[in-house]
Structure formats: C-alpha cells, structure tokens
Chains A and B, each alone.
Chain A
Amino acid sequence: MNNQSSNNLFEKNQVSVALKQSFIKLNPATMFRNPVMFAVWIGTIVMAGVCIWIGTGEKNQGSLIYNIIVTVILFITLLFANFAEAIAEARGKAQADSLRKTREETPAKQLVLGEIEVEEIKIVPSSQLRKGDIFICETGDTIPMDGEIIAGIATIDESAITGESAPVIREAGGDKSSVTGGTKVLSDKIKVKVSTEPGESFLDKMIALVEGASRQKTPNEIALTILLAGFTLVFVIVYVTLKPFGDYANTPITIAAFISLFVCLIPTTIGGLLSAIGIAGMDRALRANVITKSGKAVETAGDIDVLLLDKTGTITIGNRKATHFWAADGITDSRFIEACVLSSLSDETPEGKSIVELSNLNKSNFDTTGATFIEFTAETRSSGINLNNGIRIRKGAYDSIKKIAESAGNHFPTETITRVNAISSNGGTPLVVSENEKILGVIELQDIIKPGIQERFERLRKMGVKTVMVTGDNPLTAKFIAEKAGVDDFIAEAKPEDKMNYIKAEQQSGKLVAMMGDGTNDAPALAQADVGVAMNSGTAAAKEAGNMVDLDNDPTKLIEIVEIGKQLLMTRGTLTTFSIANDVAKYFAIVPALFIASIPALQGMNIMNLHSPESAILSAVIFNAIIIPVLIPLALRGVTYKPIGASALLRRNLLVYGFGGVLIPFVGIKLIDLLVSIWF
C-alpha cells in the first residue's frame, strides 16, 4: 500500500527545501506562534546586540569571540527548530503531492446543453470543471475530477491512488458510486457529476493543513503550548530575578550567561519539535493512505474507546462460503449436490459461486437449455431453477423453504431441522434445498474469519478499545462469530439507524466512537461518530460526513488510525517529559558557572566537574541546540506504541524519556565540555 511513500526520513530534495524554509520561518510573525522558540528568538537578537556592544568597547561582558559563539549557537538552535517543522512539512507535502500528481490536467468530456436544448459533449480541460458539472468517461479515459457516478457502471483501475492493481467496479446508485480524479476507466461508460470545486478536494485540504497556511493548532496542542508557555514564564522569572540577586552577592553576571541559562531551561526541545510532531502525525496517516480533514481527527483517534467494525471485509473475508453439503435421509449425496449446483448455476452471488466451487463439479456438464432461473427476492427469500423436465429446485432460508414444502403438504424431515439448528449455533448459515417442494438437504455456509484478526482485537483490548461487530446476520450467528473473532460486542440484524443509536448510547456514557462506512445511509452515523472514516469508494455524502477518507477502502484501517493517533499523543508526551527532565543537568551545569567567580566555595556544586564557567555555559547551550536535530527522527517517526496497558506504558516511557532525560544531558554536557575546554 505504501507504494508511493518512501521510508527514508531525509530525502535530498526535501532537506534542501527544508533548509531554505528554516530561514524563511525566522520571520517574527511566524515565530510568534510558538512562545518557546519566540523567547529564544528574542534572546538571539539581544545577544547579537551584546556582540555589537562589545565591539564598540564594552569590557565587562566577556570576550567577543565567546559572545559571538553563544549568539551563533542560539541562532542555530532556532534554525534546528525551524528545520524540524520544515522537514515535516516537506515530507507531508511530498506525500500529498505524489497523490496529487495523479490529477494533472486531463481533457474532460463535459456534457453541456447545446443550442437546441440537446446535451452535447464538449472537450474542456479538467481545471475548468466546477462542482455540479457533468462529464462522461469511456474506456481508456482518465477521470478528470472527483465525482459521483449518476449513470452507468464501469470497471476502474484505482492503482494510482491505492496501489492495488485489481480493478474495481463502480456504479451509479449504490454505495460504490464515487470516482476519484486520476483513476482510469478500464471498460464501459459512465456519466459523472463533479462533487468538489477545484482546489477543494480532500487532498487539497490536507495539503493546505500540512503546509501550515490553514494549519490550526489542535485543542491538545493548544493546552500543551499553554503549559510550555507557563514553564517559559517561570524561567523568565528565575532569570530576571537573578540580576538583583547577583547585585546583592556582588556577582556580576554577563548577559550571555543570563540568556544561556534562560534558553537552556525553557523547554526548547519540545517547543522546537511540537509542530513537527503534529504534522508528522497527519503524514503518517497519509502514508497509510488515509486523508484526514483536520489534525484534531488524528488526535481524537488516539482517544477512541469504541470501534464499530463491519463484519464483512473487516472480521471475515468477504462473504460467506459453502463449507458442507448435508443430504437429508434417503437422499444420496451425489443427487443432493447435483441439485445444489443446478440451483446455483446462474446465482452470481458469492454464496452461489462458492456452492459450485465446493461441489467440484464442472458447470458445463449441466444442461440447462430451456430452464428458467428464479432470482432471489426479498419476499420469497429463496432462489432456484425450473428445469425443462418440470423439476423445480429451490434453495433458501430455512423458514421460507419450510413454508414451500409444508404448503405442498410435504413433511419437513426432523433430522434436517436438527442439522439446521446445529449449523446456526455454529455460526453458520443453513441454506435448505428442495426439489419439487420436497426437502433434499441443507447446505452449510460459513464465515471465514480473517487470519490474525483475533490478535489485533486482543491488541485493541489492551489499548482499552472496545470492538463492536456490526452485521446483518441473525443474533445467533452474530454471537458465534463475535466470540470466535474475539470482539467485545456485536449488533446483529443491523439497520443503519442501529449503528446511529449504538454510537449515541456510547457517547452518552462519555465514550468516543469511531466507525467506518461507505453508503449514504451511513452518513448520519459517520457524522455522529467522533472519528468517521469514509471509504474513498463511498458516496459523496458519506465522504462529506466523515472526518477521514480511506483511499484503500480497507475496513481494518480503523485499527491503524487509532494507533497513529496514540502514537502522536505519546510522542508529544514523551518529548515534553524528556525536555523538562533535561533541566536538572542544565541547572547543575550553569548555576555554579554563574556564581563561581565571586563565591569560589560553590565549586562544590560543580558535580560534573566542568572545566570553566565559559566552557560550562557553552556546553549546556550546545547540548541544548544539538538535541533538537537528534530527536527529529523520533518526532517524525513517532514513539513506538506498545499495547501493554496504560500503567506499563507510563512506566516504560517514564523510565526511557524521564529517567533517560535526566541522565543523558549529564553525559552529553560533560562530553561537549571535554571538547570545548580545549579553547575555553
């Protein structure tokens, strides 16, 4: 699926774009959005001023070269932080562009009303199509714009979007009526109504989100920014008050030392990486071929408590399959199987096909000249065939065939009733077959549960996510499959409003619900759900209602989306912890350096045994700058999510990022000091 995505974190061209952006982003209006880095920005300007001041003859601020180095390191810190954001943007944009590339200018066959009120075809460039316009696509045409089929049926190659080479069928009226710009019609002809204005497709919206122009901070990002601003203010207080303290203790403190202390203590690491983490979250969703309409949706995905999953396609492979023929007493197996195959010859449903498959008989051996096929209808709930020789074979649900048999005065064999019940309680679907209103036997249809799905549900359970299976099956069958697949709950004989009611009930009790859907009748539920993922093949209404669109139309995608959301939040949390934990070591590096000149006894506090006040301050600032690019890969990839339960996860992350965050800077600063002490 990741055919267009590259796993290389730093692609050459992206890096060069990001480098350029790092400088452009130095614009104070942009910096202002990030209070932590804006504080560093001001510090850099002040230091630049100090350098000039020393150049004009000031003697009490330390050597010019030392001050210039501090200024440069602060400047580089800013560039690193900007680079983190820019590279995340570049990656996201590249990913989105590769999707957008598929929809370059293509000629469109627009239907317009001609002079004599007759529709005629006019060739226009795709960029001229507007919402509501109608165009036609025939075999070999590339679809010029996103739209909804209003007439016709076609096979379409969507590999440009999904990477899946097997063609798909799209037709008017159903739940699979959407077509995407850039995909190719392989056969037949369709009439399509344009569903979006140019530049307003989901993909366009997503690119705008990534590029920053319309990127809104998510609620959680805002709250975290407030906390970080709070931390920054505490340190503003700490360092402003140091001046009078220094006056009292007769300790002159250089401006470089003040600003270094301040910049080291404020949470620059997380401040510099925060927006990169958010963008990378959306980017990861995009790499999973999911288009999100807002950053908030990804964040919410991490909070999901309940997942509504359609049985078919998610929990089971496609549709039910025939697994066994059970002939009634007195009927030979071969006769029964023959009847089954005859009744299914023209049955194009997956169930029908699977019956022929199971029989191992060749279709062409059957002579059906002059036979009439009886289609399945909702009233009769059975289908079958009337052969030339007057034989009527029917297959269908137990009660409908029973009615047929009994109204003809025939007895329904008890052993078949037993069999029917046995099949039902095993989660299968019994299909009873009759010949001339006499019961021949029963075919067992079974759902095939996807391999590995139990493990995924187990994983979700450990995340605290409840899984709910939605199915049209009867409660007995549903219960069996639910148990076998390991879902926590199920909705049987589900109608669209049942989904809606279930979602509302869960939300009433405070839970967040995610679901996936494609049909127009899913739209209200998609809108109601906290995370609604519409399939790309779904109707325009469904895509409009949801807050994500899955280009692969893969129902298991929901599970991935939840993990991406959790990863995003975790990355924020762990890097915040790391950033704040770093302060401990930085205090021990800088505070002794500030006062050692006037209170030599404070040498006892220099536990890292740093070489000199200058080398201590430089080492701390250099460490502070370097740690940002070192953590960029982590910010972009995200912290690995392990479903081991919240407490274990906290313990693990606290150990790695909290305890590690305390230790690493001690080592790092000491090592840098060893190097810096050669000159200072």
Chain B
Amino acid sequence: MNSEIIGVIIMFLATIALAIPLGSYIGKVYNGNKTWADGFLKPLDSIFFKLSGINPLKEMNWKQHLAALLTINSIWFLFSMFILMNMSWLPLNPDANPSMSADLAFNTTISFISNTNLQHYSGESGVSYLGQMVLMLFQFISAAAGMAVCAVVFMAMKEKTTDQLGNFYNYFVKSCTRVLLPLSIVIAIVLLFNGTPMTFKGKDQFVSLQGDTVNVSRGPAAAMIAIKQLGTNGGGFFGVNAAHPLENPNYFTNIVENVSIILIPIAMVFAMGFIIKRKKFAWMVFGVMTVGFLLLLLPTIYLELQGNPAITKMNIAQPLGSMEGKEVRFGSAASSFWAITTTSTSNGSVNAMHDSLTPLSGMFTMLGMMVNAFYGGVGVGFLNFYIFIIIAVFISGLMVGRTPEFLGKKIEAKEMKIAAIIALLHPLLILSGTALSSWLYAHNPAAYAGWLANPGNHGFSEMLYEFTSSAANNGSGFEGLGDNTPFWNIACGIVMLLSRYLPIIGPLAIAGMLAKKKYIPESAGTLKTDTTTFGIMVFAVIFIIAALSFFPALSLGPIAEFFTIK
C-alpha cells in the first residue's frame, strides 16, 4: 500500500488508542476521583483556588454555571483588547511590531476568546511576544471553558434528578491544570527537540548564498503550538501556521501535531461514557462521528492523490497528487488528513493552503465546519452533537410510540425550542454572512475588488469558507480572501461571538432543564439511544439539517467549480 496512506492510518489509530485511556482519565478528573497525577498536580490547582478564594466543592445550577462562564470571558475580553491595542509600547516587543487597530483587535480578541483563532494578522509582524503570550493564555482558557461546560452537561446527563451540577471553576481550573497543561508540556518538548524555536530574542539574520540578508522571525513558539493543537485553537505563531518549517519541522512533528488536534475531542466522548456510565452510548456517539469524519476524509485523500484535473488536462503527470499549496515534507495524503481533522474539529491550524485544495476537497473541509460535530472542538464538539441527539431523539422517540425521552428525561416544548434555535443558528450565520458579502460584491465589484483573489465560483467559496470558519469557531481561511478590512473584521467578529456562546448556552440550558426533570427508568418500550439504528438516525438528522441546508450555496461554489474544471 501507498506509504502515504499507511501514515494516515497510523495517525488515526494512534489517536484512538491514546484517546480511550485519556477519556477515562478526564472522566475521573471531572468526577473528582483519584488519579495517578493527583500527587504532583493537586498542589497546582490548590494555588488557584486559594488565590481566588473559590471553594471548588460548592455546587452550582446551570444558570450559575452560565454566569461564571460569561463573567470569566468578559473580563478576559477587556484585558486582551487593552494589550493588543497597546503592544507597541509594552514590553517584550523586540521586533518593534505595532499595536492593533480597534477593529483588528476586536476581531483578534473575539477570535481567540471564542477558540476560533481566525487571524486577520500575521504573527511575525502583527503582534509582539507579549501579545503572542496573551493569545496563548487564551488558547488555554478558551479550550478549558469549552471543556468545563461540556463537563457540566455530562454531569447533567447522569441518571438522577438534580440541579446541582458541580462547580464551574473547579472544572475550568482542572481542565487547564490536569489535562491541557501536562499534555502541552509534553508536546512542546517534543517540538522543541525537533527544531521549533522557544526564545524571547528578536529576528535572527543570515546571509543567503545569493548574498541577500534574510531576517527569520522566531519567538516563544513551541509552547504556543502545543496548546494551539491540543485545545483545537489553531492560531499559529507564524502567519502560514503549521506549514511553516519552524512550526512544523518534519513528518514526525506533523504526526504529533495532527494527533494532538483530534486527541481531546475524541477523548471527551469517552470521558462522557465514563462519567454517565454508558460506555455503549459513548461508542455510538464515537461511531457516528467517525463515520461522518471518514466520509469527509476518504474522498478528500482520494481527490488530492488524483491531482488537479486542470493539470491532468495539460498532460502533465502528478505522481504526488495535487501539490499546489502543499508542503513536500508532508505530501498529499497527510495534508488531506490534516485538512479534514483541522476543519471537523474546529482547530483551524493548517499545514497546507486550503485555497489550493481541489474543489470538492475544499467542500469537504467546509462541510466539516458546517457540521462542526464530527469530533468538533474540545468540549464544544460534543455540545453541538448534543443538539443533534436531542432532535434525533425527538423524532425517533415518536417513531417507537412514546413521547420522546433522552436518558430517562422527557423532551418537551421548551427543550425543543432551544434545540431548534441552536440548530438553525449555524446556517443562519454562515448563509446570511455570505449573502451579505456576495450582495456587496455583486452590486459594486469595483469597490470590493480587493476582497477576492479569484472571482467566480472560487471567489464565492472563499467568502463562504470565511464565514463558515468563523461560525464554526475554526479559524482557518481560504487565504485568497483579502480579509483585514473593517467589513471582514467586524462581520466575522460578530459571527464568531454569536456562534461561540449561543451553541454553548443552548445545550447547557437543555441539559440543565432535563437534569431537573423526573427520571423515568427504562423499559422495553423505551427508545434505546446506544444502538446502531439510533446512530443512523442521528447521522440522518446531521446530514439533513447541517449538510443539506448548505447544498444550494455549495453548488454555487465548489460543486460548480468541480463540474467546470472536470
């Protein structure tokens, strides 16, 4: 078999092999059970709890959890705006990079606080090291916030009637100290030994063979890259992200980073099985996610290995597949694997330019973000999936002749209302954003000529991708788009903001309300949610709601492009 494909299979299997034990470890952390790491990590949490005067055992209901989440986030928002707009005179700025404009700082702050990491700036010239470190801090806290909310939902899914769902700060701090921090340290060290820089010194210089003086940007990169992958953040230290030789030096680091991208999202599913004591249910969720993921991955690998049909038509052989925009050290298959993992998990770091993927592969990366629940972002991926489960339970519950119930709790009008709003929010934000930009462009192409590097179907894909990436809190881009303008900064900022918090609040509210309801024990007439049949149902709901509503838009972008160059 093709060694490129073997590489992909190894990466995928390695991830699952690591995710299962990590899942039960995370489960134990949230349950408050003893773990082997308590010895050296417990003192670390205690510092935070002592400093802040928080009692991690104080139970909260879902509304208090929500208040805690929003409070933390708004304080960090103000803090980041201040730093980014004043970087030029603050310390740790050896390259004398300028402060950000207000709209760019707004976009960047929202982008990092919402775990999106959409970057309308370039790391080398756009931020100081202080700025980079603030952004890195956000990569921890935004990931931990998602995981903490997810933990609350897990607690609410347990078989009992309660409104006491643990302590938010406890889940939040422990997500950082027990999960993200130790894993990041390990990954950062691996990267460090493979050549990724970790320094506070400014640009390095060398004289090339041609005699030119070349400035090479560097900085505290290894630390940031580790958390950007593990926390499905994706914001690169350097502009071209993981395609940069210092961010992702070789095939081995590529495996390590790629595994880190999907490790925690998959582990969260197994953590759920551990916490609610329904392993089979966790496997059902994992199964549906995996089938969806493979349906995106396999055709992408196939198409990229086939090469670009436009080049084939010129009678030029493409033995390595379509290599435009890809790094030779990774190859087509590994780049395809990265492209699908980074988009379906809301990571958004790239090791190849998605703008240059063949049309349908470009569509599959977009579909990954449109669904946003085939693994999905750390914590939030499951929250998105939860909404689809609720809708699937509702319809299939009726089909077995009972009013619908999920894990022993009745789903009624109130929960349905929230689920319906959240389910339609994603198409609403993506489609109306794209519609607005298409409308502006269509009615005054001259004024907005700077936006699109390629007009026509591909240009449409660039705009669609940008809003999809913002709405999925992904952060990757079809880089042909000229996006550092007030329109894109503000429009994407708003989309990121809404699509971060509402899809967190929705599932949290549903789970909180369900947890308070009376628990109905299972009987032979109850819908079983841990079966293959139910898995197919969930998949069908995802396909019809999340994928088909974008069908008209996709046919104008990648599908039209595909048929045109075929």
* Interface contacts beyond A233-B420, A249-B560, A302-B403: sample of 11 additional A-B pairs, CB < 8 Å, sorted by A: A219-B412, A229-B420, A230-B419, A261-B552, A565-B401, A573-B397, A573-B400, A574-B398, A580-B544, A645-B525, A654-B537
Q: CA A390 – CA B264 in complex, angstroms?
A: 95
Q: CA A604 – CA B443 in complex, angstroms?
A: 29
Q: CA A261 – CA B548 in complex, angstroms?
A: 13
- Give 5 pairs: A residue, B residue, CB < 8 Å, sorted on A: A219-B413, A231-B420, A234-B424, A464-B523, A510-B408
Those of A28-49 within 8 Å (CB) of chain B: none
Is A366 at the interface (CB under 8 A from chain B)?
Answer: no
Would you give the shortest CB distance from B256 to chain A, in whole angstroms? Answer: 40
Those of A630-651 within 8 Å (CB) of chain B: 641, 645-647, 649-651
* A464-B524, A604-B566 known; A223 vs B394 contact (CB < 8 Å): yes
Q: CB-CB contacts of B416-428 with A at 8 A, as 1s and 0s?
A: 1101110110011
Closest to B409 in A: A510
Is A276 at the interface (CB under 8 A from chain B)?
Answer: no
Closest to A238 in B: B549
Cβ contacts under 8 Å, A122 to chain B: none
Closest to A306 in B: B523
Cβ contacts under 8 Å, A23 to chain B: none
Is B399 at the interface (CB under 8 A from chain A)?
Answer: yes
Is A75 at the interface (CB under 8 A from chain B)?
Answer: no
Cβ contacts under 8 Å, A300 to chain B: 403
* A226-B416, A237-B424 known; A594 vs B523 contact (CB < 8 Å): no
Is A569 at the interface (CB under 8 A from chain B)?
Answer: yes
Would you give the shortest CB distance from A93 to chain B, in whole angstroms? Answer: 26
Are B396 and A654 in contact, with the CB atoms below 8 A? yes
Is A566 at the interface (CB under 8 A from chain B)?
Answer: yes
Closest to A567 in B: B401
Cβ contacts under 8 Å, A238 to chain B: 427, 431, 549, 552
Those of B384-403 within 8 Å (CB) of chain A: 391, 394-403
Are A591 and B555 in contact, with the CB atoms below 8 A? yes
Are B533 and A647 in contact, with the CB atoms below 8 A? yes
Q: CA A238 – CA B519 in complex, angstroms?
A: 38
Those of A292-342 within 8 Å (CB) of chain B: 299-300, 302-303, 305
B401's partner among A592, A649, A651 (CB-CB below 8 A) is: A649
Q: CA A648 – CA B526 in complex, angstroms?
A: 11
Q: CB-CB contacts of B422-465 with A at 8 A, as 1s and 0s?
A: 01100110011011101101110000000000000100100000
Is A24 at the interface (CB under 8 A from chain B)?
Answer: no
Cβ contacts under 8 Å, A649 to chain B: 399-401
Are B525 and A244 in contact, with the CB atoms below 8 A? no
* Band of interface residues on B: 35 or more
Are A510 and B413 in contact, with the CB atoms below 8 A? no
B549's partner among A235, A569, A570, A654 (CB-CB below 8 A) is: A235
B551's partner among A243, A303, A462, A587 (CB-CB below 8 A) is: A587
Would you give the shortest CB distance from B129 to chain A, in whole angstroms? Answer: 41
Which of B397, B417, B441, B540 has the most CB atoms of chain A within a 10 A radius of its CB? B540
Are B524 and A650 in contact, with the CB atoms below 8 A? no
Is B520 at the interface (CB under 8 A from chain A)?
Answer: yes
Is B206 at the interface (CB under 8 A from chain A)?
Answer: no
Q: Which residues of chain A have a CB within 8 Å of any CB of chain B? A: 219-220, 222-224, 226-227, 229-231, 233-235, 237-238, 240-245, 247-251, 261, 299-300, 302-303, 305, 461-466, 509-511, 565-567, 569-570, 572-574, 576-577, 580-581, 583-584, 587, 591-592, 594-595, 599, 601-605, 641, 645-647, 649-651, 653-654, 657-658
Consensus secondary structure, chain A interface: helix
A601's partner among B402, B408, B552, B560 (CB-CB below 8 A) is: B560
* A248-B438, A299-B403, A583-B548 known; A605 vs B563 contact (CB < 8 Å): yes
Q: Which residues of chain B have a CB within 8 Å of any CB of chain A? A: 391, 394-404, 408, 411-413, 415-417, 419-421, 423-424, 427-428, 431-432, 434-436, 438-439, 441-443, 457, 460, 518-521, 523-528, 531, 533-534, 536-537, 540, 544-545, 548-549, 551-553, 555-556, 559-560, 563-564, 566
Are A587 and B548 in contact, with the CB atoms below 8 A? yes
* A222-B413, A223-B411, A646-B528 known; A577 vs B399 contact (CB < 8 Å): yes
Cβ contacts under 8 Å, B518 to chain A: 510
Q: CA A509 – CA B160 in complex, angstroms?
A: 11
Q: CA A646 – CA B534 in complex, angstroms?
A: 11
* A244-B436, A650-B537, A653-B399 known; A602 vs B552 contact (CB < 8 Å): no
Cβ contacts under 8 Å, A591 to chain B: 551-552, 555
* A219-B412, A230-B421, A234-B423 known; A244 vs B531 contact (CB < 8 Å): no
Q: CA A658 – CA B552 in complex, angstroms?
A: 23
Q: CA A569 – CA B402 in complex, angstroms?
A: 6
Are B394 and A230 in contact, with the CB atoms below 8 A? no
Q: CA A227 – CA B436 in complex, angstroms?
A: 27
Cβ contacts under 8 Å, A573 to chain B: 395-401
Cβ contacts under 8 Å, A594 to chain B: 552
Closest to A462 in B: B524
Which of A219, A510, A576 has the most CB atoms of chain B within a 10 A radius of its CB? A510
Q: CA A658 – CA B543 in complex, angstroms?
A: 13
> What are the 3 tightest A-B residue pairs by CB atom distance, in nearest-first order?
A464-B525, A573-B398, A230-B420
Are A654 and B435 in contact, with the CB atoms below 8 A? no
B540's partner among A248, A463, A647, A658 (CB-CB below 8 A) is: A658
Are B563 and A604 in contact, with the CB atoms below 8 A? yes
Are B523 and A465 in contact, with the CB atoms below 8 A? yes
Closest to A649 in B: B400
Closest to A601 in B: B563
Which of A572, A583, A603, A650 has the most CB atoms of chain B within a 10 A radius of its CB? A650
Cβ contacts under 8 Å, A580 to chain B: 395, 544
Cβ contacts under 8 Å, A237 to chain B: 424, 427-428, 431-432, 549
Cβ contacts under 8 Å, A299 to chain B: 403
Would you give the shortest CB distance from B276 to chain A, in whole angstroms? Answer: 17
* A238-B431, A646-B525 known; A574 vs B551 contact (CB < 8 Å): no
Are A224 and B398 in contact, with the CB atoms below 8 A? yes
Would you give the shortest CB distance from B284 to chain A, in whole angstroms? Answer: 12
Which of B460, B520, B527, B552 has the most CB atoms of chain A within a 10 A radius of its CB? B552
Would you give the shortest CB distance from B159 to chain A, in whole angstroms? Answer: 10
Q: CA A220 – CA B410 in complex, angstroms?
A: 10
Would you give the shortest CB distance from A610 to chain B, in whole angstroms? Answer: 15
Are A245 and B563 in contact, with the CB atoms below 8 A? no
A599's partner among B391, B438, B560 (CB-CB below 8 A) is: B560
Are A566 and B402 in contact, with the CB atoms below 8 A? yes
Would you give the shortest CB distance from B532 to chain A, in whole angstroms? Answer: 9
Would you give the shortest CB distance from B337 to chain A, in whole angstroms? Answer: 27
Cβ contacts under 8 Å, B420 to chain A: 226-227, 229-231, 233
Are A510 and B520 in contact, with the CB atoms below 8 A? yes
Cβ contacts under 8 Å, B549 to chain A: 234-235, 237-238
Are A574 and B544 in contact, with the CB atoms below 8 A? no
Q: CA A583 – CA B560 in complex, angstroms?
A: 21
Would you give the shortest CB distance from B518 to chain A, in whole angstroms? Answer: 5
Cβ contacts under 8 Å, B391 to chain A: 227
* A241-B435, A592-B555 known; A654 vs B536 contact (CB < 8 Å): yes
Are A599 and B526 in contact, with the CB atoms below 8 A? no
B519's partner among A235, A241, A510, A602 (CB-CB below 8 A) is: A510
Cβ contacts under 8 Å, A646 to chain B: 400, 402, 524-528
Closest to B443 in A: A247
Cβ contacts under 8 Å, B424 to chain A: 230, 233-234, 237
Would you give the shortest CB distance from A231 to chain B, in whole angstroms? Answer: 8
Are B552 and A605 in contact, with the CB atoms below 8 A? no
Would you give the shortest CB distance from B160 to chain A, in whole angstroms? Answer: 11
Closest to A220 in B: B403
Are A570 and B435 in contact, with the CB atoms below 8 A? no
* A510-B521, A511-B521, A587-B551 known; A650 vs B396 contact (CB < 8 Å): yes
B413's partner among A226, A248, A250 (CB-CB below 8 A) is: A226
Cβ contacts under 8 Å, A572 to chain B: 398
Are A244 and B442 in contact, with the CB atoms below 8 A? yes
Cβ contacts under 8 Å, A599 to chain B: 457, 556, 560, 563-564
Q: CA A231 – CA B421 in complex, angstroms?
A: 10
